[in-house]
Chain A
Amino acid sequence: MSDALIMDRVTKSFGDVVAVDELSLRVPSGCIYGVLGPNGAGKTTALRMIVGILEPDSGSVSVLGLADAAAVRQRIGYLPEEKGLYKKMRVGAMVAYAGELKGMPKKAAHENAIHLLNVYGLGDWVTKRCEALSKGMSQKAMLLSTMIHDPDLVILDEPFSGLDPVNTEIMRDVIVNMRRQGKTVLFSTHVMEQAEQICDAIVLIHRGRKVLDGPLASVLDAGGTAVQLDYDGDGEPLKELRGVSRVNDAGKHAELILDSGTDPQDVLAQVVGKVRVRRFDLREPSLHEVFVRAVKEDASGE
């Protein structure tokens, strides 16, 4: 089995609003797949349809080779963006409950819950109430609840939102670790840098429609050449560089998108006279650039 998930021309609207419009995608088994898009692009609706919380108006969703998400529920783990724990429940019981709902026998669920909590450093909290957990710890507990039943496909909706750097790293490790165990991880985010760091493949969604998708490397390669520039000084003159089609200037860092045929040496020479260069790195454009460009093309193509 090569595809963990296939969506075929899936459409979903709420009243007059088309949240997901003819979305088709394939997620190969065993990869980390990013669903990218700005807020309100329809990512959450798409994920909810995959998990079976919402029914598509038209089109089909096939998860782990089956058309009915409910039938494979026990092999899916889902962590919504808006998530919480039963405040009064003990942490161990809470995680185990998630496992039991996925069909695990009571004993196995409890043993596994305690095992996972120990592995992820929450061993001391097993018998404490969930309301006693700090925000980072409860995020972790919720993540463990989604993976207690050893699912084949894990779906995470904005898993990084609201996390501090330490917890972001833990989340990233967990995701990478799941791939190592052969699981498929599908997550949504509106932060392109995170996707760039860990995704094997991505889909970009804008206004409910797929803008582009594919393995990360090929998506980025198609974007042409760009320069990642770290600098000090006023970035304003960068916009007047010859041979540069666009500048994504963040103040200390700028991404220069080169016209095809432009010699990077020529650009470097121009830059040196204008700002103080700390790093000049020739590479493919960032996902951010790819996304912005794709959305623009999408808009002009209408």
Chain B
Amino acid sequence: MANRVALVARREYLENLGTKGFWLGLLVFPVILIASIAVPFLFSKSAGRRTYTVIDGSGWLGAAVQERILTQEFTTLLRATIRIEESGDSSAYALPDSMVELAVAVKPLSDDHRARVAGALAGSDAAVEALDSALDSYVKELVLSARAEAQSWYRSLTAKQAKRIDDGLDATRYAYVAPPDRPAAVDELNRQIADGRLFAYFVIGPDPVTGSDGTRYVSKNLTDTSLRDWYAWRASEVVRERRIERQGLTSEIAGWLSAPLSFVGEVVGSGGATSAAKASDKLRQWAPAIFVYILWVSVFSSAQMLLMNTVEEKSNRVLEVLLSSVSSLELMSGKILGMAATGLTIVGAWVAFFYATTMALPRFFVGMPDLGLAQIASDPVYLLLFLCYYIFGYFLYAALLVAIGSVCSTHKEAQNLMTPIVLALILPLLTLTPITRDPNGTLARILSFIPTFTPFVMMNRSAGPPEVWEYVVTTVELMLSVVVAFWAAGRVFRVGVLMTGKPPSLREIVRWARASGGRRQINAL
């Protein structure tokens, strides 16, 4: 028996290797993976800086916003310069010497003080004078001597240079150009936008503190709102402070009033200690969802391939020839195993590719944050769960679909009979996000115990993780369902492969599966 099953399985496997579907299946995931990682990355890399300008009807807001932006930028720059200086090689970044010197001087200062220094760098002499008395005169002097050079250096900074220094610099994305100093400035700017020389311009109304009258954003591209949001946020900050000042409060109090609270994300580790959240932690929470999705796609596509191949062989009349040599159960098992081997080959190739890619990615894309993809990809818990749930899930659905395939003579009939199964299969996808957010919630728990959903839902919950007894009970349940499905499918298959003509209804199929061996209904005698 085992030998014949192996023969059938081997033949199926070898034949599958020769199909287009196999190679498509093999390639589709790597292509999607590369595309989903590389395209946004390359896109963000290649997207040019958005150049913008401001026509300031108020006479003060445009300059104030630029100063605010510059303050922010110099804060980032000082931090980056400290980092670069510490790493030793500052010459590669074309930083002005005075900046480096200043950075060394502010290194021991608090964030708050550094922000003041940055503000002084960005602003007027008054801002330098206003530097806290807590700062020693050496720093003040450094700021005064560095300011002019730093500002002109910043204006000549290209997006590429900015990116090398620090990804977070706004200079990597937006560049300010001075508006034309002419009465017909708007016409000139519109022309520039039409030519593509300018991305957008802002118009500030005469009295922004009172309201938004006359405030406009003009661009050819209104779908990409990042520049508008970015500028509007900073302008609003300045206006808000001015409004508070009008109420008779000092600018210091105004700044303090409008300063946001920032919550630093931390995660609780296994030992109960907290640590600062990294990008990889968030990804780790979502890793099961990614695994579920891949699981779903692979289970569904292998089972579907099996269905199509069964229908095709049945319509080719090849199956009855085999039935004199192998029993229908052997034939069915062989087919299911052959397709399982095919599916595992594809999934194995995916995992290998995923692993290799995540190892190699940082080499190709310098500056990409380490998401810990490789650790997730090679996490034995996830891999083991994935493998088990792939095998059980596949067996369950393969048994159902091979039974359906055996009673159909055309693909169209098969599609019709498959509709209920497809509808049932959509559910694990719909619950993907809710279960990821709440892996041990009631919905997740209930669905875990429905065998057709168990593989997907339990995989989904693995970040939770579920309790051990849940694993045990659902797995036993799933295995029993696989046995029952095989048994029932075997009965339907036995009748189905000999049948020609119109496919039976689902009710009839269920009756066949239940009926005792001797009394079966066949349309064709």
> Residues of A at under 8 Å CB distance from B?
13-15, 17, 19, 40, 42, 44-45, 48, 51-55, 57, 70, 73, 76-80, 82-89, 97-98, 100-103, 142, 145-146, 155
Which chain B residue has the least Cβ–Cβ distance from A56? B518
In the bound complex, residues from chain A placing their C-beta under 8 Å from that of B18 are 88
| A84 & B323 in contact (Cβ 8 Å cutoff) | no
Bound-complex Cα distance A79 to B318 (A): 11
In the bound complex, residues from chain B placing their C-beta under 8 Å from that of A73 are 324-325
Which chain A residue has the least Cβ–Cβ distance from B15? A88
* Cβ contact of B322, chosen from A13, A17, A101, cutoff 8 A: A101
Given contacts A73-B325, A97-B11, contact A14 B525 (CB under 8 A): yes
* Cβ contact of B520, chosen from A14, A80, A100, cutoff 8 A: A14
| B522 & A14 in contact (Cβ 8 Å cutoff) | yes
Q: Give the number of residues in B that approach A within 8 Å (Cβ atoms).
A: 30
The smallest C-beta distance from A3 to any residue of chain B, in angstroms, reads 20
Bound-complex Cα distance A77 to B321 (A): 10
The smallest C-beta distance from B474 to any residue of chain A, in angstroms, reads 37
The 4 closest A-B pairs by CB, nearest first: A78-B324, A84-B317, A101-B325, A84-B316
| B321 & A55 in contact (Cβ 8 Å cutoff) | no
Given contacts A14-B525, A15-B521, A98-B321, contact A82 B4 (CB under 8 A): no
Bound-complex Cα distance A282 to B498 (A): 45
| A86 & B316 in contact (Cβ 8 Å cutoff) | yes
| A82 & B320 in contact (Cβ 8 Å cutoff) | yes
In the bound complex, residues from chain B placing their C-beta under 8 Å from that of A79 are 321
Q: List 28 A-B contacts (CB under 8 A).
A: A14-B519, A14-B521, A14-B522, A14-B525, A15-B519, A15-B521, A17-B525, A19-B525, A42-B525, A55-B517, A55-B518, A70-B327, A73-B325, A77-B324, A78-B324, A79-B321, A82-B320, A83-B317, A84-B317, A86-B15, A86-B313, A86-B316, A89-B11, A89-B15, A100-B7, A101-B4, A101-B7, A146-B321
Which chain B residue has the least Cβ–Cβ distance from A89? B15
Q: Mark B302-328, 1 if CB is under 8 A from A, else 0.
A: 000000000001001110111111111
The smallest C-beta distance from A228 to any residue of chain B, in angstroms, reads 34
In the bound complex, residues from chain B placing their C-beta under 8 Å from that of A88 are 15, 18-19
Q: Which of B1-54 contact A (CB under 8 A)?
A: 3-4, 7-8, 11, 15, 18-19
In the bound complex, residues from chain A placing their C-beta under 8 Å from that of B321 are 78-80, 83-84, 98, 142, 145-146
B481 lies within 8 A of chain A by Cβ:
no
Bound-complex Cα distance A60 to B517 (A): 16
B500 lies within 8 A of chain A by Cβ:
yes
Given contacts A45-B525, A82-B500, A85-B318, contact A98 B325 (CB under 8 A): yes
Given contacts A100-B7, A102-B325, contact A80 B521 (CB under 8 A): no
Q: Mark B286-316, 1 if CB is under 8 A from A, else 0.
A: 0000000000000000000000000001001
Given contacts A14-B525, A19-B525, A42-B525, contact A51 B324 (CB under 8 A): yes
In the bound complex, residues from chain A placing their C-beta under 8 Å from that of B521 are 14-15
The smallest C-beta distance from B237 to any residue of chain A, in angstroms, reads 68
Q: A14-B525, A73-B324, A86-B313 are in contact. List 7 more A-B contacts (CB 8 A).
A: A52-B324, A80-B321, A84-B318, A86-B11, A86-B316, A98-B321, A101-B4
Bound-complex Cα distance A100 to B18 (A): 21
Bound-complex Cα distance A85 to B15 (A): 13
Q: Which of B317-370 contact A (CB under 8 A)?
A: 317-318, 320-328
Q: Which of B260-284 contact A (CB under 8 A)?
A: none
Which chain B residue has the least Cβ–Cβ distance from A100? B7
Bound-complex Cα distance A145 to B325 (A): 11
| B323 & A53 in contact (Cβ 8 Å cutoff) | yes
Bound-complex Cα distance A79 to B321 (A): 6
* Cβ contact of B320, chosen from A14, A77, A83, cutoff 8 A: A83
Bound-complex Cα distance A251 to B515 (A): 52
From B320, B322, B498, residue with most partner A Cβ within 10 Å: B320
Bound-complex Cα distance A171 to B518 (A): 35
* Cβ contact of A80, chosen from B313, B320, B326, cutoff 8 A: B320
| B498 & A48 in contact (Cβ 8 Å cutoff) | yes
The smallest C-beta distance from A7 to any residue of chain B, in angstroms, reads 17
In the bound complex, residues from chain B placing their C-beta under 8 Å from that of A17 are 525
In the bound complex, residues from chain A placing their C-beta under 8 Å from that of B327 are 70
Bound-complex Cα distance A87 to B3 (A): 24
In the bound complex, residues from chain B placing their C-beta under 8 Å from that of A80 are 317, 320-321, 324
Q: Mark B250-263, 1 if CB is under 8 A from A, else 0.
A: 00000000000000
In the bound complex, residues from chain B placing their C-beta under 8 Å from that of A52 are 324
Bound-complex Cα distance A97 to B324 (A): 13
Q: Which of B181-199 contact A (CB under 8 A)?
A: none
In the bound complex, residues from chain B placing their C-beta under 8 Å from that of A142 are 321
Bound-complex Cα distance A52 to B7 (A): 20
In the bound complex, residues from chain A placing their C-beta under 8 Å from that of B324 are 51-53, 73, 76-78, 80, 155
Bound-complex Cα distance A155 to B321 (A): 11
The smallest C-beta distance from A107 to any residue of chain B, in angstroms, reads 14
Bound-complex Cα distance A82 to B323 (A): 12
Given contacts A14-B525, A53-B498, contact A101 B15 (CB under 8 A): no
Bound-complex Cα distance A76 to B326 (A): 12
Which chain A residue has the least Cβ–Cβ distance from B334? A101
In the bound complex, residues from chain B placing their C-beta under 8 Å from that of A97 are 7, 11
In the bound complex, residues from chain B placing their C-beta under 8 Å from that of A53 are 320, 323-324, 328, 498
Which chain A residue has the least Cβ–Cβ distance from B330? A101
Bound-complex Cα distance A98 to B522 (A): 26
Given contacts A51-B324, A73-B325, contact A82 B525 (CB under 8 A): no
Bound-complex Cα distance A262 to B145 (A): 141
In the bound complex, residues from chain A placing their C-beta under 8 Å from that of B517 are 55
Q: Mark B222-247, 1 if CB is under 8 A from A, else 0.
A: 00000000000000000000000000
Which chain A residue has the least Cβ–Cβ distance from B517? A55
The smallest C-beta distance from B447 to any residue of chain A, in angstroms, reads 39
Bound-complex Cα distance A95 to B1 (A): 20
Q: Mark B463-502, 1 if CB is under 8 A from A, else 0.
A: 0000000000000000000000000000000000010100
The smallest C-beta distance from A246 to any residue of chain B, in angstroms, reads 30
Bound-complex Cα distance A166 to B391 (A): 51
In the bound complex, residues from chain A placing their C-beta under 8 Å from that of B518 are 55, 57
Which chain B residue has the least Cβ–Cβ distance from A76? B324
In the bound complex, residues from chain B placing their C-beta under 8 Å from that of A54 are 498
In the bound complex, residues from chain B placing their C-beta under 8 Å from that of A44 are 525
Bound-complex Cα distance A15 to B8 (A): 32
Which chain B residue has the least Cβ–Cβ distance from A40? B525
In the bound complex, residues from chain A placing their C-beta under 8 Å from that of B316 are 84-87
Which chain B residue has the least Cβ–Cβ distance from A102? B325
| B317 & A82 in contact (Cβ 8 Å cutoff) | yes
| A101 & B318 in contact (Cβ 8 Å cutoff) | no
The smallest C-beta distance from A87 to any residue of chain B, in angstroms, reads 7
Which chain B residue has the least Cβ–Cβ distance from A15? B521
The smallest C-beta distance from A265 to any residue of chain B, in angstroms, reads 48
Bound-complex Cα distance A83 to B324 (A): 12
The smallest C-beta distance from A83 to any residue of chain B, in angstroms, reads 5
In the bound complex, residues from chain A placing their C-beta under 8 Å from that of B500 are 82
Which chain A residue has the least Cβ–Cβ distance from B3? A103
Bound-complex Cα distance A44 to B340 (A): 34
Which chain B residue has the least Cβ–Cβ distance from A149? B325
Bound-complex Cα distance A51 to B320 (A): 11
Bound-complex Cα distance A73 to B500 (A): 25
Which chain A residue has the least Cβ–Cβ distance from B524? A44
In the bound complex, residues from chain B placing their C-beta under 8 Å from that of A15 are 519, 521
The smallest C-beta distance from B10 to any residue of chain A, in angstroms, reads 9
